[in-house]
Structure 1
Amino acid sequence: MVLEHYISDLLYRYNCVVVPGFGAFLTQKNSARINQVTNTFSAPNKSIAFNKQLISNDGLLVSYVSESEKITFESALSSIEEQVKVWQNILAQETSLILKDIGSLSRNNEDKILFQPASEPNYLTSSFGLSNFNSIPVTREVLKKEVVELEENIPFVISPERRENIGFRPYLKYAAILLLAFSTGVTGYRAFKQQRTNEQVARQDAQEYVTKQIQEATFFDLSPLELPTVTVEASVTASPTTNESEMHYIVAGAFRVKSNADRKIEQLKAIGYNAGYYGTNAYGLHMVTYESHSNSSDALKALREIKRTESKDAWLLSKK
């Protein structure tokens, strides 16, 4: 039985794993870190520590070994105690005890146990797949700074006698000015080019998003419904009438792609609606209806039921 294998398994799920009669391995969560000197990024992890004072059996390790090895609790405890004796003999001989994936233990001159945790693995499950990496420092352009330094080192005003003595070439001044102008122009062009690139990318992303929304969107008329006006004269109760020349359609949606409209019709028919294809609207969108009614009262009643059970965005279209 490799006891450290079971200890390692439990460290992924628990913050404390006690080895009866030997000590406890503790974990503590650490945040991500950046080493400014080595430019190393360390992912969030769990650091491991050892406490030899915690030796009471809490049953966690023994139960896990018993379940994994398919043996009784007493047999698992006996096996752990034998393994602990072996570990203690190794430490008594002043040699290091190496536990795979956990760390190494050793005794110092003061007979104290020293623990050095293993660098791998990372016991923080939320950081699974993350590893440490080095980042190359970013070197930025210093063209302008170099030109300024060059300008400071080249004298621009020199007497004729001094010019003859040192052989000063007047065109160096203009070369420095041209170099400064060139570096400034290059920097400005790069900034302008980067801005244009960002604008083009943003415009392209926006166009793709709008196109996708138009193709899949359903357009609805959100204007309030106008109920039919009923005129009541003296001693006469008006009743809803049917206008044979007018049809009332309960609209389910409008689609840019005809195949999406056909698919919507099939879905509505599958749940019992007399769905149909109305045609295209002023925007060129294909309109789909739940059903149609020649009686306005029936249409309003059906619309209320559909808005309650199917879609709040359904609306009524009356056509003469």
Structure 2
Amino acid sequence: MNTARHIEQLLYRHQCVGIPGFGAFLTETKPARLDEAAHTFFPPAKVLSFNPLLKNNDGLLASHLARAERLSYDDALDRIAQDVAVWRDALIAERRLTLANIGVLSVNAEGNLVFEEAGQVNYFTGAFGLSSFVSPAIRREVLAVVGEDAEEEAPIVLVPQRTESRQWLKYAAIFAIGLGTSGFFGNRYYQGRIAEETEIVQAEVQKEVGNRIQQATFFLEAPLENVVLPVEKTWKPYHIVAGAFREEGNAQRVFEKLTAQGFAAERLEPTRKGLYPVSYGSYATLSEAQAALDTIRKQHGGEAWLLVTKRH
């Protein structure tokens, strides 16, 4: 099954890979996570899902298969149709289809297709080289707290005071007191003079600062320009396409018709084949786009299809 191998290659680079006449595989990027119960870290990854309603040919798979196998575009479509027929026979006979590295498709009791992701390959290229790992829990020791009662008090040592004195120490003490008294009064006088001179200098400085402030003139030569901050527009990669036209006039008429009907219609960029697509509207998430696509198909027919574009 060469088709399954090419689908696997496209899942690394695209969020939606459609198989004409069968369905589409969708991807959604999930951030890294931690399983606290199992102490396991998981890297960011793409989660796969399958939508059997997206059966239109968006040209992605056929173009990739034609380039890889060096086939014409029509031959690539024939090769895909052959593999799809084999897949349908397997689902009818065994009610189960296994696509390597992608997942398992099975038919439930109600006759609906159920997809189970294989989970063996991480298609998120940003997590290349990362894998899940288990980190055992860290064991921390609890230190016992010692109460204050257990602290030992330092012993108090009493030193007896000597009562002996010498006669000459009296005269030395009297002489030291005299020097201290004269130094004290002299120091008080010196400090008082310094304080008076400091106040005089501070008053002069304050007076000079006040004169300079009164003489100063403040003006702006030119007003400042307004600063305009760019606001990034929300990127909406999912488009519900009403049709793609070879004549730009036809695309403009459909665009005006959808706008008059109340849709947020858009003229998308022309394709490489020179077609002018017109969409009912664009959406930021895949779930919003799928819900809108189902509503439009119910109310306006089944011609609408989903287009996914990449950020430039």
TM-score by length of structure 2 reads 0.46
Which protein, 1 or 2, shows the higher relative CO under an 8 Å CA cutoff with sep ≥ 6?
2
- Give TM-score, length-normalised by structure 1: 0.45
Mark the structure with the bigger radius of gyration: 2
